[in-house]
Amino acid sequence: MGFKRKQSRVDVGRSGRIQRGSLSAPCKVLDIGETGVRIESRMFVKVGDTLQLILDLDRGHAISCTIQPIHVQAPRFGARITAISPENKERLSQILDDRVQRQFSAR
């Protein structure tokens, strides 16, 4: 099986919440990139579901986006980010840039 991901992701290990309609559950965001995310949660999800993800950040800030699972192996799943506001996209890009800078400066 070949490598399918087009963009890299960074490990974040942050808590968050996923929502599907009126259902809501805590989750752990394992890694994230500009177009996708890997999550661990007890909520049952299946490929193609539309979910809302709220990722907790430092100092009470959060990123919110719509995701769609593309690979599920409970309790973890990989999802494509299908909708994100320009403000949240900018915040996500900044987080990714900061993480990459920290990884390179630590070497």
Torsion, Cα 12 90 88 73, to 10 degrees, reads -40
d(C-alpha 46, C-alpha 39), whole Å:
13
Q: Is residue 1 part of a domain?
A: no
Residue 3 in any domain: the answer is no
For residue 27, is it within any domain?
A: yes
| Domain hosting residue 98, numbered range | 10-105
Q: What percentage of the chain carries pLDDT values higher than 90? A: 63
What span, in angstroms and rounded, lies between the C-alpha atoms of 102 and 107? Answer: 9
Cα 57 to the chain's mean position, in Å? 12
Asked, for residue 4, whether it belongs to a domain, the answer is no
In total, how many domains does the chain have? 1
Question: Is residue 48 domain-resident?
Answer: yes
Q: What is the pTM of this model?
A: 0.85
Q: What angle do CA 80, 81, 83 make, to 5 degrees?
A: 140
We report the CATH number of the domain holding residue 76 as: 2.40.10.220
Q: Is residue 30 part of a domain?
A: yes
Residue 28 included in any domain: yes
pLDDT at 58 over 80: no
